[in-house]
Chain A
Amino acid sequence: MERRTIFGHRLLPVALVAPQFLLTLVFFLWPACEAVWTSLTRQDPFGLHSQFAGFDNFVELFTDSLYRDSIGRTVFFMIAVSALSMSSALLLAVFADREIRGRMTYRTLLIWPYAIAPAMAAVLWILLLQPRIGLIGVLLNRHGVSWDYHLNDRQAMLVVVLACAWKQVSYNFIFFLAGLQSVPRSVLEAARMDGARGWHRFRTITFPLLAPTTFFLIVVNLVYAAFDTFGTIQALTQGGPGKATETLMVKVYRDGVVNLDIGSSSAQSVVLMIGVIALTALQFRFLGRGGRRESAA
């Protein structure tokens, strides 16, 4: 959309755009280019020399079975977190949309967790599930279930999925509720007249009308599960035991920051960037809208 009326200055607008533009250049484009460049070079362990290595880092990455395992694990994790979080949120939103006493209170009780940091969600779940002090963790162990997510791979995955999905429910709830509220009451009335009830009405009328919201949330949740869960995983299991909860994001951190394998880490960063760009493109292609990073975080 173009305005008819504009201001005639030439230098002022450049000055207005400059701060945003410079920050983008320095903190986004430059590092992104550097990541691409570093991923194509090989460095000696001291970082003194580097030489062009083509796609060697990528070939190495994808022939590494540890990396392929990490991809599989991440995909499983992303789907589990998104499915669990979105289905719980949808269920709660459907009920919170009904005309009942105290619905505003219920809504507030379901919306406030938006304020919880991913890493804080981990702390709260430790209080529940930590094997020696957690309320439920201690109970499990006292009743003969051997529960310790620091030792058991499956339990570790279960705990990070639960905590990460839990943290995202309020976000999904807000959007599903807004989506439900924008379904025209007249459409639902008409369906009621036609005798469509309960589940049938939801499945044939409401859910299809929620499709844009659902699709948008699928993308947001996948991105959230891939990137924003780093703090939760780090605080709960640090990717362990072994590599049981090491998602791609945790692996980039471990390889780059902890093990200082810059070439491989850069290649991994580039793979992640391609992943994010693909997801964002998908979102634009099907929805023609964007803008979600900060709010998803």
Chain B
Amino acid sequence: MNPRRDPVTHVVLLFGAVLFVAPLWLALVGSTQDPAAIARGDLSLLPGHEGFSAYARVLAGPVPRMLLISLGMALAIAIGKIVISVLSAYAVVFFRFPGRKLAFWLIFITLMLPVEVRIIPTYSVMAGLGLINTFTGLWLPLIASATATLLFRQVFVAIPDELVEAARMDGAGPLRFLWDVVLPVSAANIAALFVILFIYGWNQYLWPLLVATNPKLDTIVIGIVKMVAVETETDWSAVMATAILALLPPVVVVLLMQRWFVAGLTESEK
């Protein structure tokens, strides 16, 4: 059998693709339909006649601010995690200092304690620091990262000693070496990690729910869950338009950087 025309394979993969694309399609066409018709149970699989009016409605409300908060949070988390992880991995790999092992292990422990299992005590710490209902509170506690530190440690350990020696011969200090050699060498890892962390930040739900009760700090994910929680008189086409807007940034990031991100993901897990 010609392997390129394997009907069973196409059927299985098409089925899989439909399973994942159909809900998105539904949200897309639903956002162009009459909300009253949807509320009556007449959600159609074809585009409606309302055009982009639901988007106009949504964008006139709090959604743009929510998108901005999400974007700020995702960027702060991704960049913050990468910066502090690069620095700490660099210190652990290229220096000897007292407490080096201890620092490494303490950071490593963070791996074992996801936010979810310590929500209540972390909340009281946040309250003590006055970070409740602040934008800083949304991202700062989430940027400590064992995963990223471990990944960068792996990458840095693989940098040949000869390169370090050459740099020292040239009189490059440690910070110059970091900037001129180590960062360019790790560019692909940084890019891959950026995608993973951006999505991680954009998709947060429990943490912003806890630390930001002020609706002005609602992320888009929090916002849309609030919209569907009111099940009577829901403006469903607005919900769907918001869903599309909320999905767009992370999906675009994944699609644009798919190759790097897939390689980075599967490597960083090993």
Physical interaction between A and B:
yes
Contacts of A230 in B (CB 8 A): 116, 205-206
Which of chain A's residues have a CB closer than 8 A to the CB of B45?
A: 135
Residue from B106, B116, B200 with most neighbouring chain A CB atoms (10 Å): B116
Which one of A3, A9, A91, A115 contacts B247 once the chains associate, using CB atoms below 8 Å?
A115
Which B residues are CB-close (under 8 A) to A116? Answer: 203, 247, 250-251
B112→A23 contact, CB < 8 A: no
Q: How far is the CA of A102 from the CA of B38 in the complex (A)?
A: 35
Contact present for A269 and B93 (CB under 8 Å): no
Whole-angstrom CA separation of A216 from B93 in the bound complex:
27
Which DSSP category, helix, strand, loop or mixed, fits chain A's interface?
Answer: helix
B179 an interface residue at 8 Å Cβ cutoff? no
Instruction: Indicate whether A109 sits within 8 Å of B144 (C-beta atoms), given known contacts A20-B85, A122-B225, A273-B117.
Output: no
B116 touches which of A6, A133, A249, A266 (Cβ 8 Å): A249
Q: A124-B243, A266-B121, A294-B196 are in contact. Are A178 and B95 (CB under 8 A)?
A: no
In the assembled complex, B236 has its CB within 8 A of some CB on chain A: yes
Q: Is the CB of A295 within 8 A of B150?
A: no
Query: Is the Cβ of B225 less than 8 Å from the Cβ of A231?
Result: yes
Q: In the assembled complex, how far is the CB of residue B47 from the closest CB belonging to chain A, in whole angstroms? A: 15
Report the minimum CB–CB distance from B72 to chain A (whole Å).
Answer: 16
Q: Are A115 and B165 in contact (CB under 8 A)?
A: no
When C-beta atoms are compared, the residue in chain B nearest to A23 turns out to be: B144
Query: Is A120 in contact with B41, judged by CB distance below 8 angstroms?
Result: no
Number of B residues near A (Cβ < 8 Å) is 116
Q: Mark B72-109, 1 if CB is under 8 A from A, else 0.
A: 00000000010011011011111111011001001101
User: Which of B96, B109, B121, B151 gathers the greatest number of chain A CB atoms within 10 Å?
Assistant: B121
In the assembled complex, the CB of A123 is this many whole angstroms from the nearest CB of chain B, namely: 5
B-binding residues in A (CB < 8 A): 1, 3-7, 9-10, 12-14, 16-17, 19-21, 23-32, 34-35, 38, 88, 91-92, 95-96, 98-101, 103, 106, 108-120, 122-128, 130, 132-135, 138, 166, 169-170, 174-175, 178, 216, 223, 227-228, 230-231, 234-235, 238, 249, 252-253, 256-257, 262, 265-266, 269, 272-273, 275-277, 280, 289-295, 297
Take A16-B88, A19-B88 as given contacts and tell me if A120 and B203 are in contact as well, using a CB distance cutoff of 8 Å. yes
Asked if A276 and B269 sit within 8 Å, CB to CB, the answer is no
